Structure 1
Amino acid sequence: MPTADAVLVLTGTFDPTADLVIEELNRRGTPVFRTDTAWFPSRLAVAAGLDGTGAGWAGTLTTDRRTLDLSAVRSVYYRRPTAPEFPEAMPAEARSVAAAEARRGFGGLLSALPCRWLPPPGRAADAEYKPFQLRVAAESGLRVPRTMITNRPEVAREFAKSIGAPVVYKPFTPIRGTVGGRSVAVYASVLQGDEVEHPSISTTAHLFQEWIPKAHEVRLTAVGGRLFAAEIHANSEAAEVDWRSDYDSLTYRVCDPPPEVAKAVLRMLGQLELPYGAFDFVVSPSGEWTFLEVNPNGQYGFVEQATGLPITAAICDYLEGADPA
């Protein structure tokens, strides 16, 4: 049976954040069609046509259990879909061609749907570049740390010297993997002594920033013009540098961003053309807010669970077509 007036959820098989949104949409009686692009083409079929009248693409997405009418999609929640999967027996060259065709054909068809996206994939991909978001944050009126990007150890040393304070190294992208059978991750770290000019810096681009003294940090989640902010208090040495490294030590408290910060956040989202952003700030002992980064599709469930902030409801309101606040 076709699913009408539905929210299309694109994400991987295991995604607790998407589960929160789907459960709320189900509670509201809003039809949901969840799939992963990895299911294409073996478990997900597409058939869509354009008749040249300006009516747009008409057709279906079909699994072995359900069918989605593409013309009835009201919005798309673009979470964390994974790449299409092809038979292992397919030659590598053929898989490469098939993957490119799937990306431009199947992915292109989805991007052509005239509906609301949270977030728009292209805009989200652009916003994930830290140099870009730092520039836009500063232009929007947010305070940002002094920053250096380099692959020259001597430049890193001179930057640290000019700062006259501790320097933090941050990876540009989340780095996680397995080494010797153990799961490892690279988080922000405060550099000591010779680490600031380590020869390995020359191997690729590195991002260095001044260390901002902190009373606490803030995760501010923006959804369609609505802002939900929570203080994050670190209670371990590791979490003091990067709270993601030790969730068990964290405590949370609902807060309100200063008016000038709230206005700058909304201005930044407008510049990025995004309806959603998970912003991270450092708040100094004197109460000054400093922007660290924004994730255009960041996790929020841990904040909602700890504080009761109605972020899931706001996301569902947006997906159902509510006008931004």
Structure 2
Amino acid sequence: MTGAGHILILAGRFDPTCDLVVEELNRRAVPVFRADMAEFPQRLTLAASLSGNRWHGTLNNDRRTLDLGSVRSVYYRRPTRPTFPEQMAAEARRVAETEARWGFGGLLTALSCRWLPPPGRAADAEYKPLQLRVAAGVGLNVPRTLITNDPAAAKDFADSLGGPLMYKPFFHVRGTVRGQTAAVYASIVNPEDLPHADIATTAHMFQEWVPKAYEVRLTAVDGQIFAAEIHADSDAGRIDWRSDYGSHSYKICDPPPEVAAGVLRMLDRLGLPYGAFDFAVTPEGEWRFLEVNPNGQYGFIEQATGLPITAAICDYLEGPASDEHPRR
């Protein structure tokens, strides 16, 4: 690949997946400037001015200086929030956080370069209801789904399925319970437990249970597709493979042509160059769409299978900037 200028990587300090990209870009001798939003404003200094229709200036940390005009692409890899002095008053902190988001973050999105992924479009694509509608619209097979806070509606939905159903959180639910790290994964709901009063407390998503021969993590990068079967060898892993990585085995596979075409159409409609898709494959070989993560992990798949996903990401980042590529 050919190109000029730096690749700006915005990521948390400890991110093994991001490290793969940095190592590959270093191997290619592509200049990289890595920073975390958490460094701003205490350890990351910004000075930029508008000249013509482009922003020019610098980004400085305690190690290096980046010429903003030299940025050819941005790898937006889950940076953490800006941090402020502990002694700052709460109200001042809220104002500073807002100004950092709209000022510092806004300037970065205004750079004339390509993004992987574009943060605005990636944020929109995180909405599960939008994902499901777009997936169905491009011809992917989507399980029957209900979103509700009505316990009676959940019971009616379960009765219409005539079998078990799944509860799925809309977003990552992680935290600490009694000093231990905890997370909420997809789970099977017994129809006999419905209606349940807790459903009225917030929005819930229920889907029909899809019998699985295995699941597939399909990673798409700028029109390239890398797919791997995930075979879980535990009860928890067969319900949601994220709950038990230790039980997995992996195998490279080729998606059916209609699935591959649907995946690329979906990314095009969402305005994304990258997506980590999850499918359930039934014993009859039917691929059922579960979700897409616009900034999903892929390192564990590459490590297990050798699929060259990092190289594809770096090819995209290294390529020449173009107005045809989404930025925001």
TM-score, normalized by the shorter chain, greater than 0.5: yes
2:152 to 116, 138, 154: 154
Partner of 2:29: 29
Give the Cα separation in 2 of the matches to 1:195 and 1:182. Answer: 28
**Aligned equivalent of 1:295:** 293
Q: Which residue of 2 aligns with 1:124?
A: 122
SS in 2 for 1:131: helix
* Larger RCO, structure (CA 8 Å, separation 6 or more): 2
Q: Deviations over 1:59-110 (max 9, x none)?
A: 0000121000000001000011111111111111111111111111100100
- Whether the aligned pair in 1 keeps the contact of 2:158 and 2:191 (CA below 8 Å) is no
User: 1:184: how far off?
Assistant: 1.2
Partner AA of 1:206 in structure 2: H
Equivalence for 2:74: 76
Matches within 5 A, 1:44-193: 44-51=44-51, 53-54=52-53, 56-193=54-191
**TM-score (norm: length of structure 2):** 0.95
Distance 2:107 2:115 in 1: 14
Whether the 8 Å contact between 2:38 and 2:81 is mirrored in structure 1 is yes
Return the alpha-carbon distance in structure 1 between the equivalents of residues 45 and 85 of structure 2: 15
- TM-score, with structure 1 as normaliser: 0.96
Distance 1:238 1:41 in 2: 43
Any idea what SS the aligned residue of 1:197 has? coil
2:42 matched to which residue of 1? 42
- Match of 1:149, SS? strand
Q: Name the residue aligned to 2:20.
A: 20
| Helix, strand or coil at the partner of 2:194 | helix
Displacement of 1:195:
3.1
Distance 1:259 1:179 in 2: 44
The answer on whether the counterparts of 2:164 and 2:191 sit within 8 Å (CA) in structure 1 is no
Q: Look up the equivalent residue of 2:169 and give its one-letter code.
A: P
Q: Partner of 1:172: helix, strand, or coil?
A: coil
Which residue in 2 is equivalent to 1:6? 6
The answer to whether residue 203 in structure 2 is matched with residue 205 in structure 1 is: yes
The 1:39–1:149 alpha-carbon spacing in structure 2 relative to 1, beyond 3 Å, is same
The secondary structure found in structure 1 opposite 2:152 is helix
Question: SS at 1:124's partner residue?
Answer: helix
Counterpart CA distance in 1 for 2:262 and 2:254 is 14
Deviation per CA, 1:212-263, whole angstroms, max 9, x where unpaired?
Answer: 1111100000000000000001111010100001101001000000000000
d(CA) in 2 for partners of 1:64, 1:260: 50
AA partner of residue 116 (structure 1) = R
What residue in structure 1 maps to residue 238 of structure 2?
Answer: 240
1:196 maps to 194
Cα deviation code 1:139-171 (max 9, x no counterpart): 011000000000011110100000112100000
Confirm whether residue 283 of structure 1 aligns to residue 269 of structure 2.
Answer: no
CA–CA distance in structure 2, aligned partners of residues 287 and 159 of structure 1: 26
User: Gaps spanning 5+ residues in structure 2: where?
Assistant: none
Question: Structure 1 stretch 267-276 or stretch 79-88: which is displaced more?
Answer: 79-88
Runs of 5+ consecutive residues of structure 1 not aligned to the other structure: none
CA apart distance, 1:176: 1.0
Q: Distance in 1 between matches of 2:238 and 2:49?
A: 54
Judge which range, 159-168 or 190-199, deviates more. 190-199
- The CA deviation at 1:193 is 4.1
Aligned mates of 2:237, 2:304 — CA distance in 1:
17
Q: How many residues align?
A: 319
Letter in structure 1 aligned against 2:226: F
Among all aligned residue pairs of Structure 1 and Structure 2, give the percentage whose two residues are the same amino acid. 69
